[in-house]
Each structure stands twice: as structure tokens, then as C-alpha cells.
Structure 1
Amino acid sequence: MSAALHHMMSWIIAWAHTPHATTALAVLAFAESSFFPIPPDVLLITLCLIDPTRSAWFALVCTLSSVLGGAFGYAIGRYGGRPLLERFVSETKIRAVERYYQRYDVWAVGIAGFTPIPYKVFTISAGTFLLPFKRFLAASALGRGGRFFLVAGLFFFFGEPIGDFVKKYLNLLSVLFAVLLVGGFATMHWWSKRQARSAATEPASSQEPS
């Protein structure tokens, strides 16, 4: 970690000990969804450590602000277009994002929102590729909310002793959950296709020869 990034993280964590801690969390969550490099988990974990009983409130603030920030990132991509996206994201990452969208549709945003995959890349690219905005918001809320409420729930039920575990294994837990999530989507997709094929063949089989 560079000295500048370390200094920035220390500055963010310091906000947890001020009367404006919740506001700082909201601003950080909003900014990280479109342009800021440090995820809000840093401040969220600190606040949950300080006051585990308010963990759900912190997670709610973080989720709503992050989704609003994602909508702002979507607008950046929507009105800035691919040339703007290419200024901030390498062509390799853009092609990788396109593959995610081709495979998972708008739910790629939800996966990115929950896992260590850079969420801001997906919010801006979602606008650039003109993904349906309402579905984008739904996927963002599920992904971001799942991640932040997972953290909050661990602190609420287990308190300070869980702190080191969360900080050490948060990304691993997120990836494992995302694997289960993708598996669920794949199962639903397979089942819906199977049902569609059954519905298509049923009329033909039900016809009797004259």
C-alpha cells in the first residue's frame, strides 16, 4: 500500500471518532461508487466496532448512499459515453466487463457490488452500455446491501471479537457468497429454459391425429 493511500485510509478512519461519522460514511459510500478509490467498508467496520448495536443503521446508510452513488456513476457513463469510460478504465477491463454483462446481464452489477470487483467500473459501464436503469438499481441494492448488512450482522451478533475475522476474511466471504449467488442464477436460468421447452412441446404432443 502506498504512503498516500495509507494516509487517506487513516484520515477516513479518524472520522469514526467525530460527531459527523455517519455523514462521512454516507459521503464515502456515495463517492466510492463512481470515482473514489477506498471502499466504505473501512469506515463501516470501524463504526460497527465502536457501536455494534447501531450496525444495522450504519449498513442502511452505507447501502442507500452507495446505490445513489451508483446511480451517479450510471449517469456519468450514460452521458459521457465510452470515450469517458476509456479515460478511467483500461480496454482490457472494459472487455472483461462486457463479458460479465453478456453472461450475467444486469446482475453482473450485483455481483460486483457484493464482491471485491471494482463496483465503480460497473456503475459507469452500465450507463455506457445502456443497461435498464431500474434493474440496475435493483441489482445494486441487492449487491451493496448484501455486502454491508453481512458486515453489520456479524458485528451485531458477535460484537468486537469478530472484528479481526471480518477484516481478514471479508473478501473471501464475499467471493464465496457470490459463487453461490451465480450458481443460484444459473439454476434458475436452466429451470426457466426447461419449463419453456416443456411448454412449447406440450401443445404439439396434446394434438390427436384426425
Structure 2
Amino acid sequence: MLDLIDRFGYLGVAGVVFVESFGIPAPGETAIIAGAVAAGRGHLDIVAVAVVGFLAAVIGDTIGFEIGRRGGRPLVHRFGRYVRLTPERLDKVQGFMSRQGPKIIVVARFVEGLRQFNGIVAGLSGLPYRTFLAWNAVGAALWVGLWSTGGYLAGDHIEQIAKTLSRYAVIAVAVAILAVIAYLWRRRRKSTVGGAP
């Protein structure tokens, strides 16, 4: 991603965030962090990275909103499988959004899976566009602000941070696997002991 942003600059940040925001799975957070790291190294301007990321997120979500509003469920049922939006997943996300109201638009920006379908589901649910736009802008500003600030402050240390995080992720996965194995073994042992004559 750093190479992509080095090559395409602001256009690379905007493109990745834009397509992710209207429903195509893409690494939007990573693009913003890479743009911010490039700004920390002096290759880009951090304010421009944040503004471009914000605009791309809001415009992308608006397109997603229009897709949901105009195309409705038939369109999502027909093409949703190509972007991992199954009817079951759509029902869950739509139910969650109806229960939680517009504030979920802000929270969804920080949740992988919800972020990509935020606009589409809001359009499907009949939410007024002005309400969606206001909450979406708040969510996009917070999301872009967090990742651009984090990437900018990480600067040249981003590779070291990524290596450290991946090392701890491997340890966490290993511990989780061992915990599941221990749980299954204890459960099997209890059922064998309990079922013995």
C-alpha cells in the first residue's frame, strides 16, 4: 500500500477509500494510514490526505446510499454476492441499523463489513438523505481523523509497528487455538467420564 500511495499519491488514497465506501471490499483504513505515513516522511501533506480521505468516504457512501435507495433489495440480491453481501447479511445489518438509528452510521465507519455496506443499507432502509449525510460526515471525519493522525505519528516506525503487531497477533492466535483444544479435550473427557458405567 505504501508503494501504491508513493506512486499515485492523493489519487491512490481517494480511489481506495472511495470504492470501499460504496460497497467494494478494499483496504480503506490502510490507504489512509499509508497516505499519512507518506505525509510524515514529507512526500504528501497530512491535511490534504485527511481532506481527500474525508471527501472520498462521504462521496463513496453517498453513491452507496443511492444504490440502496434506487436499486433496492432486488439489486443487492442480484449482485451482492460479488461483494460478499448475502441476503442474510443484509437482513442482519438492516435490522441492526433500524434498531440503533442514525448513530449506527457513525459507528459502522469503524467496523469492517458494516463500513462497506453502510450507505447501501441506509438507502434501503428509507433513511432521509440529509440525516444520512450529516451522520455520515461525522463518522467519516472521526474515522479519517483517527487513522490519518495515527499514521502520521507512526511515520517511519510503521514497519516496526506492523511487525510487532503481527508477532503479537500470531501469539494471540496460537493461544486461542490452544484454548479451544483444551476446552474440547475437557468437554470430551467429561462426557467420557460421565457416560462411563
Q: What is the TM-score of this pair, normalised by structure 2?
A: 0.69
Identity across the alignment (%): 25
Matches within 5 A, 1:162-181: 165=161, 168=165
Aligned: 1:80 with 2:67: no
C-alpha distance 115-68 of structure 1, shift in aligned 2 (>3 A): same
Amino acid aligned to 1:15: L
The alpha carbon displacement at 1:13 in A equals: 4.3
The alpha carbon displacement at 1:66 in A equals: 0.9
Amino acid aligned to 2:38: I
Give unpaired runs (5+ residues) of structure 1: 1-11, 170-210
Aligned: 1:44 with 2:32: yes
In structure 1, C-alpha distance between the alignment counterparts of 2:134 and 2:27, rounded to whole Å: 20
Give unpaired runs (5+ residues) of structure 2: 167-197
Preserved contact between residue 56 and residue 153 of structure 1 (Cα < 8 Å): no
C-alpha distance 138-47 of structure 1, shift in aligned 2 (>3 A): same
Deviations 1:107-145 (A, max 9, x none): 222111122233222211111111111111122122222
Aligned: 1:26 with 2:14: yes
The alpha carbon displacement at 1:156 in A equals: 3.5
In structure 2, C-alpha distance between the alignment counterparts of 1:13 and 1:49, rounded to whole Å: 8
Instruction: Say how many residue pairs are matched.
Output: 157
C-alpha distance 91-44 of structure 1, shift in aligned 2 (>3 A): same
Q: What is the TM-score of this pair, normalised by structure 1?
A: 0.66
Helix, strand or coil at the partner of 2:22: coil
Alignment partner, residue 95 of structure 1: 91
Aligned: 1:17 with 2:13: no
Deviations 1:15-69 (A, max 9, x none): 2122x31012112211111132112222222222222263332122111111101
Aligned: 1:59 with 2:47: no
Preserved contact between residue 33 and residue 120 of structure 1 (Cα < 8 Å): yes
C-alpha distance 164-45 of structure 1, shift in aligned 2 (>3 A): farther
Larger displacement relative to structure 2 (151-160 or 105-114) = 151-160
After superposition, the CA RMSD in angstroms is 2.4
Matches within 5 A, 1:144-155: 144-155=140-151
In structure 1, C-alpha distance between the alignment counterparts of 2:162 and 2:3, rounded to whole Å: 19
The alpha carbon displacement at 1:165 in A equals: 4.3
Amino acid aligned to 1:104: Q
Preserved contact between residue 114 and residue 146 of structure 1 (Cα < 8 Å): no
Alignment partner, residue 130 of structure 1: 126
Larger displacement relative to structure 2 (83-92 or 67-76) = 83-92
In structure 1, C-alpha distance between the alignment counterparts of 2:107 and 2:124, rounded to whole Å: 18
